[in-house]
Structure 1
């Protein structure tokens, strides 16, 4: 073998090793949310076959295999809410088919978007586990044991089967954070800053659920007089959790290492220190106007926009100044619905033509 052939072989092998390293390190636990097996109650996954999990998470899976479908549902809940909150933004939380990271390279950038994704996915796990405890799907938890709120009316009964948010928070912290804690990064490295950022944003997501538990009640009494109520602890609506975290995304705090490289501090020191509820980011967001495989941006070409809006969904902002095309689309929908006794609703099918605007 000549020297040129030898060098070519070495570079080829190094390329394979690097590709394997990227694939292994790109796998993330929330891709369980796109795995149909994980969404089925009662499925016992083969934990070592779940390439998405870190070594610590594999051990957690083996010890709590009945929790994995709930973790998958929590991930799916977070992904769906992310797409709802960002549907009218340039970055719209798009998932990439057959990509183990689910979101593509954008998740590798320590930006506001990554901060939101980590927080909403961690929140989804808390919610899903808490609900599964209440529904009796898990062997290690049951209904909530939360104490009676002091402000609850004295004559009302406290004791219905509530969502076990305390257990959801505890298991969510244990399982989700294991992925970051399994890593050992050098001081002052970008990997360490990303790890600390992810841990903080995971906690912010959990707190957006835990700190906003509701009290749900059911009325009792003669003829529905509601003279008596039975109450229990309930999860906050997840759309409220998503909106809360979206507001914190808009006000996310840019951070950097302190002098010792042990923790993240606010980059602009003249502002208040970030709280546990704030979302943190290290890197500025990429340009989502133009498609870029390196950053994972899909661009906004072809995205629908509202020509009458001045917001982010408006054609001026969504299309990044490139302009937009307008075309006609036929909509077929139910109309003129009437209730018939007893007991059904009958509708007609109507067609109408609407103008659709899409970015150039």
Structure 2
């Protein structure tokens, strides 16, 4: 009888294990020659690294007997085509999905199983006093179900199954979009904060707010701007990082006086004037790391917002995403807002980003 897997290895593909800070593959007996003669092959320190190395070694999978094997191929062929941050989130989702559905036959999943999963998904939360408890994790469940659904869509494409087991048959209530609208006076309050340093810090965040409020660019795209590459005579040329490998959407933000002034302020605020990035760290590096996260910028924003709440009349904190929504809300038309945010579908713009109240004229008095 095979030995029971350790708890930390349960969400991983068969024969994978996490030990000594890295992911390893236990090579089946007789196949050592395919794995550099090793019985235990080091795949990588992170999950994305491990899946890339695994994909290079074994190629694609022509058949899948259960959900776990389907997710293996999905991790090998689909997830690597996504943005780095999305890859990380998808791989985390696969861990949870494998625990519940990994051993299930592909034809066993029915719509009611999806509802049960969404209702029973929980997470561990640690309170301020140190106590640990379990609470509902409905939003996380929605994301994981979205990944599972796409995996089954690919299963149909790959010929594993004839039809998707729950597409168009499950109606889960999604989280309500934020409705926080950042007023003009709140932006003015933020821009009035006195910087403590001549370069970087508050000055950089203020310049960032100016550019973001004018363009509606996402954080990932804004922090990846390179003046020498993206700034041309007619404006700022941007290909959205998130959809580069899917729609390939490109947008030109035409220069005007306000945009030129905001960009000039951003360049003047850089702690390293020779950096290739419009917004850079103290070392002149890009805030966005290889894994897609921008932890340094998140800390800088949090510190800035703490000063906003302590030193201004702003009473409700807001995030960078709310400034992107402000740009969409301030656009004269829905189509302008959609183009500004580089959305393919205006319904996304309307539902999530247009946050101003709709203006209507009252009816005329009868008679």
Q: What TM-score results when the alignment is normalised by the length of structure 2?
A: 0.24
Which structure is higher in RCO with an 8 Å CA cutoff and minimum separation 6? Answer: 1
Greater strand proportion: 1
Greater helix proportion: 2
Q: What TM-score results when the alignment is normalised by the length of structure 1?
A: 0.24
